Amino acid sequence: MQCDTVDLYKISEVELRYKSKVKASERPKIAQSTDAYAILMQYWDDNKIDFVEQFKVLLLNQANRVLGICDIATGGITATVADIRVILVAALKANACGIILSHNHPSGNLTPSNPDKEMTAKIKEAGAYLDIKVLDHLIVSREGYYSFADECTNLTPSKSLPF
């Protein structure tokens, strides 16, 4: 068997780092869906919430303290595409133990669609393989929100979402 010499300048180096700017005890803690909604609304683009759909993820540590907020996607008037791999890469890079999914409905209708439910279940299942818990999914508007966890929306593989 012959091995060719590898030109190391043609191979990308991957380095994993995590650098926090804030002490864990100073980060906001999510104890219930109203906490998540309040934080999300502080960061939501006020010029887009009634205009186009956006998908964001709250990244949480083991104690449900916010590590960060990640903008995943901006779509059109009726939909946006949230790539599961991008969501999980963000969670892994932040060393998150849990995530809270969120997206807005520009129409103001807070009822989750079947695609919303299916996508949430799919992300929850994918996260379970990496021990990253999907704690909730909020559909937000300027006037309020819908919480999958509060409404006990069935999200396979597990029916309950801990807070």
Phi-psi region of 131 (alpha: psi -120 to 50; beta: other; left: phi over 0): left
The DSSP 8-state label assigned to residue 6 in this structure reads P
Q: Looking at residue 40, what is its pLDDT?
A: 97
Query: 75-101: per-residue pLDDT in tens?
Result: 999 889 999 999 999 999 999 999 999
Is a pLDDT exceeding 70 seen at residue 159? no
Q: Looking at residue 52, what is its pLDDT?
A: 96
Is a pLDDT exceeding 90 seen at residue 50? yes
**Distance (Å, whole) CA 19 – CA 65:** 16
Q: How far is CA 3 from the centre of its chain?
A: 44
Q: Looking at residue 148, what is its pLDDT?
A: 97
Element (DSSP H or E) covering residue 93? helix 84-93
The dihedral through the CA atoms of 124, 130, 131, 135 has a sign that is negative
Residue 43's CB is within 10 A of a number of other CB atoms, namely 11
Report, at the CATH architecture level, how domain 46-163 is classified.
3-Layer(aba) Sandwich (3.40)
Q: Looking at residue 15, what is its pLDDT?
A: 72
Confidence of residue 27 (pLDDT cuts 50, 70, 90): very high
Query: 102-144: per-residue pLDDT in tens?
Result: 999 999 999 999 999 999 999 999 999 999 999 999 999 999 9
Strands, sheet with 144-147, edge to edge from the N-terminal-most edge strand: 66-74, 54-60, 98-104, 133-141, 144-147
Rounded to the nearest integer, the mean pLDDT of the chain is 89
Q: What is the reported pTM? A: 0.84
**Distance (Å, whole) CA 110 – CA 8:** 52
